[in-house]
Copies of this chain bind each other. A is one copy, B any other.
Amino acid sequence: MSKLEINPGVSPYPMPVVLVGADVHKKPNFMAVAWFNKMNGRPPVWAVSIGKKQYTLIGIRENRTFSINFPSTKHMQVTDYCGIYSGRDVDKSSLFNVFYGKVGTAPMINEATLTIELEVVDIMESLEVCDIVLGEVKAAYTEEEYQSNGILDPRKLDPFVLTQPDNHYWSIGEIVGNAFKDGKNYST
C-alpha cells in the first residue's frame, strides 16, 4: 500500500457554493458558504455551518429564518466578494435585488437561479469554531428558464463548486452516470 497520511483538515471534494441570506438589524446581508447540505428528506431540513463570529449569525438568531441562494458561474465574482468581506465592514444590502417570501424575514436574491427560504429548527453550538444551523425549507423558488421538462436542469442552473486546499471554483462537467440505476448492472 502506497498510502500517504496527509493533513486531516482537507476538504478537497467539490463543495457547492451558495449565498446564505439573513436580515441583520433589519438590513439584508449575504455570505458565501460551502459547508452545507441537506440532512433530512421529509420534511426537508438542511444544515449550514457558520462561524460563531459571523455577522450573518446575528440575523439568523434575531429572526429564526434565513435563505439559501444558488448563484450560477456568472455570479462567481460577487459570490466570492460576499465570502471575503463581512457585513460588519461592508454594506451588502444593495448588491442584489432582494425579495421576500412566505416566512417574511429571509431576504432572497432575485438574480439567483434557485432560492430557498428556511425556518430555524435548531442551532448546535457544541463545536469549537462554527455553529451548525438546522433549517427546515419552507419554500423554494426558481424561474422557467432553469427548468427542462418541468424539473430543474443542472446545466441551466450552471452552479459552481469549491475545492480546497487549491481554492478553485469549478463548473460542473459531463454526465458520467445515472444514480440509483447504473449500480443495478454492476456485477460483483
Closest to A11 in B: B38
Of B5, B79, B141, B183, which is within 8 A of A80 by CB? B183
**Chain A contact patch, size range:** 35 or more
Q: Measured between alpha carbons, how far is A162 from B153 in the docked complex, in Å?
A: 13
Report whether A77 and B175 are in contact in the complex, using a CB–CB cutoff of 8 Å. Answer: no
Residues of B within 8 A of A147 (CB): 4
Q: How far is the CB of A90 from chain B (nearest CB, A)?
A: 8
Q: Measured between alpha carbons, how far is A163 from B171 in the docked complex, in Å?
A: 13
Q: In the assembly, how many copies of this chain are there? A: 2
CB-contacts of A28-76 with B (<8 A): 34-45, 47, 49, 70, 73, 76
Residues of B within 8 A of A140 (CB): 5-8, 10
Report whether B37 and A5 are in contact in the complex, using a CB–CB cutoff of 8 Å. Answer: no
Q: How far is the CB of A82 from chain B (nearest CB, A)?
A: 7
With contacts A42-B9, A80-B186 known, is A177 near B172, CB below 8 A?
no
Residues of B within 8 A of A14 (CB): 14, 16, 154, 159, 161, 172
Cβ of A106 < 8 Å from any Cβ of B? no
Residues of B within 8 A of A87 (CB): none
Report whether A15 and B16 are in contact in the complex, using a CB–CB cutoff of 8 Å. Answer: yes
